[in-house]
Structure 1
Amino acid sequence: MKRLISILFLAVSQFSTAIAQDEVGFMNFVNLVPGDKVCEIRIESKNPAGDGLKSASYTGWFLFPVGPCALSLKVEGLEEVKGSLNIEEGAGLLYAIYLEPDPKPAKDDKPAPPLLKIRSFPAFEAEGRALRFASVCAEDNRFQLGPQAVDVERFQVMEIPTWSGAGFPLKKNGKAVRKIPSVQEQEPYYLLAGSDLEGNCTAALVFAGKPGIPPWRQKKKEETAEKKP
């Protein structure tokens, strides 16, 4: 948990000026696009991913003011995504960045490049260690988590009650994806998997508990409340 707190505070430092007096929500982005290209993320004028978010990596939880905000996602070779998010007070959302086949017909026998998409998963609380698994792969969502075989629908969130925190190999349709690391913290986690149109798959184990408001933030809120008549 100490490691997660340090990630949160590093990210918070980038946004401290913007959120000095505003109510906030929490966000965390994870890149589930296989390959060696990074994803550039912009939220309004802010950049939570530094030089770009690598495949199977995440930004870490950070604070952002409540209300609507502009979002753009960009991966080299794919069409840039522009849209908006609505940040709710106190809410925590993990945003998975993934690929969707383009429904447009192929040209010259070549399919159109995939589309960049985003899907949210809510933070959750648990008594002790917990694991939820979900896939954003377009098809063939048959996986093996260590010795346990699971068949999940796309975007379905599945509880893995047998998880002890030990590391295990993740496979998709019998093909190795990656070795999921072990964890010692008694905390909730998501294991999310994503793939490209060629069948390459990646996955990330991400802390799923909503971070608490940092002490410096709580102190400012208390001081503001005291000043009100």
Structure 2
Amino acid sequence: MNVLLIEDDKKLVQILEKGLKEEGFILDSIDSIYLANEYLQIKKYDVIILDKILPDGDGSSLCLKMRENDNNTPLLMLSACNTSDDIVDGLNKGADDYLTKPFRFVELVARIRALSKRSNNLKSHILKVYDITLNIMSREVKKGEETIYLRNNEFNLLLLLMKRKNHVVPKTEIIDYIWNMENFIDPNLLNVTIYNLRKKIENPKDKKVIQTIRGIGYKIVE
């Protein structure tokens, strides 16, 4: 697991570097908002540990900027500021968790792992092909930054094809998945649904997202 530690207390950094590496984490440690911005542009992390008070500014402002730039890396904020207002402010600025100093190392490790696990669970609900993302939980579909509004049957069709990307999905399986074979009446309904879905997610100038495998079914290839 790749962790970015943003902390200017040198003694604390030494302790955390030693302990986290012994726990199997891959760690980068820096001591300023300026360096954090540099690192975040060139590398992705699984979890960020951010001190609230840094030499060149408030860590909360960095957290807020990250969220505004759609960087949703799980973030644990550290601070000696332990009032309810401080904690609420950190969480409202986008921190996923807040740990007050002094803290026990075992608790820090547990929180890091919990954040990573929670993030992985959320990622498992997101499917992506080309510039199309599908959120299984919220049933939201986006093409780039644009939200695409799909009918229920169109969403279920796209979901099935994205789950099985790079594999041909037979027409009979699609029909059974969306309509149930016993209730399926109109043989043209699948063709119409495919046509409408293509209109919404494909650009005529680009390569087709949904490929027709004549006589068999459809597939999405990436």
> Does TM, normalized by the shorter one, top 0.5?
no
TM-score, normalised relative to structure 2? 0.24
Q: Computing the radius of gyration over CA atoms, which structure comes out larger, 1 or 2?
A: 2
TM-score, normalised relative to structure 1? 0.24
Select the structure that is richer in strand.
1
Select the structure that is richer in helix.
2
